Amino acid sequence: MSDLFPPFEPERAESKRARFKPIPFRLLAPNVITLLALCLGLTAMRLIVEGKLETATICILIAAALDGVDGRLARLLKGTSRFGAELDSLSDFVNFGVATGYVLWIFVLHDLKSVGWIIVLTLACAMALRLARFNVMIDDPDRPDWQKNFFVGMPAPAGAITAMLPVYLHIIGVPVQEYGALPVGIYILFIAFLTISRIPCYAGKTLGTRIPRTQVLPIFVAVVIVAGLLFAYTFEVLTVVVLAYLALIPVSVARYRKLERAHALAVPVPAAETVSDSQV
């Protein structure tokens, strides 16, 4: 009879004391940030229904910023875990696939009716596929170290930020809705293609790991200027950043190809065994 109702975790042999062992806060902090980002993405969907386009957009942008913080915080606190990685991927799908697509649907894509909804589905599915591929590539032991400085395809947060470009233009006064939903839909499909493509995008993970002392003060001043511009002219700055990011993709591709060729030349290729006619 006991075989019909096995314990919930029959393979786990832990004592009761070990099961209730306190968890360090460093393991919880990154996951709390991830959940806050998830709440912002879901809240954006409510705000866009209420007609608060600008506030909904800001929620998605903050969610994207928090997505860049939680992983770095986990590595800094040595609190990385498989649970945290899975939670982060699920949060990214909701925020940058579902919420972003829904905001764009309410904004202008609903004018295309079924075609517009297909575009939203394409964006969401592209984000899911991109995140799944990212999770698989993390576990690849044969991946060279130099490739870690590049994303394969546009990352999900960057995809959401760039996909929202028509919204930024609308907020700063460009009559996007008057131009029609079709150009916006084509642009969204282009971004969806970039996320699932194998086009290398620079990750910048090693940027700023070592900074010369002479450049510290100029960097502080630059950060203050950029922060001031971002607060005063939020969507104008975002528009410039998105356009610059898209323009730099060919530069990233060229850099990747150069490193790829250098790596191929550095790796010795085993000589092929030759067989003489007498051995045949």
Structure tokens at 173: 């006064």
194-233 pLDDT per residue, tens = 999 988 888 766 555 567 778 778 888 888 998 898 888 9
User: Which of 95, 92, 96, 97 has its CA nearest to residue 41?
Assistant: 95
Contact 111, 180 (CB under 8 A): yes
CA 38 – CA 135 distance, rounded (Å): 19
- Going by pLDDT thresholds of 50, 70 and 90, the confidence category of residue 277 is very low
Residue keyed to tokens 């919204």: 167
User: Which of 165, 148, 100, 107 has its CA nearest to residue 126?
Assistant: 100
Question: What is the Cα 31 distance to its own chain's centre?
Answer: 16
Greater model confidence, 240 or 204: 240
Which pLDDT value is given to residue 4?
59
Which pLDDT value is given to residue 205?
62
CA 263 – CA 267 distance, rounded (Å): 6
Which pLDDT value is given to residue 17?
54
Question: What is the Cα 83 distance to its own chain's centre?
Answer: 18
C-alpha distances (whole Å) from 184 to each of 11, 46, 68, 231 are: 53, 22, 27, 26
Q: Is pLDDT above 50 for 6?
A: yes
Q: Is pLDDT above 70 for 16?
A: no
Residue keyed to tokens 């130099």: 146
Task: Identify the three-state secondary structure at position 200.
Answer: strand
Q: Where are the alpha helices (DSSP H) in the chain?
A: 16-19, 25-49, 53-76, 82-92, 100-107, 114-138, 156-163, 165-171, 176-179, 181-196, 216-232, 234-266
CATH 1.20.120.1760 fits domain 23-261: yes
Contact 151, 200 (CB under 8 A): yes
- Going by pLDDT thresholds of 50, 70 and 90, the confidence category of residue 193 is very high
113-171 pLDDT per residue, tens = 999 999 999 999 999 999 888 877 766 666 777 777 788 889 999 999 999 999 999 99
Greater model confidence, 260 or 277: 260
- Going by pLDDT thresholds of 50, 70 and 90, the confidence category of residue 273 is very low
- Going by pLDDT thresholds of 50, 70 and 90, the confidence category of residue 12 is low
- Going by pLDDT thresholds of 50, 70 and 90, the confidence category of residue 274 is very low
Task: Tell me the one-letter amino acid at 110.
Answer: H
- Going by pLDDT thresholds of 50, 70 and 90, the confidence category of residue 280 is very low
Please state, as a whole number, how many other Cβ atoms lie within 10 Å of the Cβ of residue 7.
8
The whole-number average pLDDT for the span 173-196 is: 92
Contact 28, 81 (CB under 8 A): no
With 0.85 as the threshold, say if the pTM is over it.
no
- Going by pLDDT thresholds of 50, 70 and 90, the confidence category of residue 269 is very low
Contact 61, 237 (CB under 8 A): no
68-111 pLDDT per residue, tens = 888 778 777 776 778 888 888 899 999 999 999 999 999 999 99
Which pLDDT value is given to residue 2?
56
Which pLDDT value is given to residue 1?
53
Which pLDDT value is given to residue 276?
44
Which pLDDT value is given to residue 69?
85
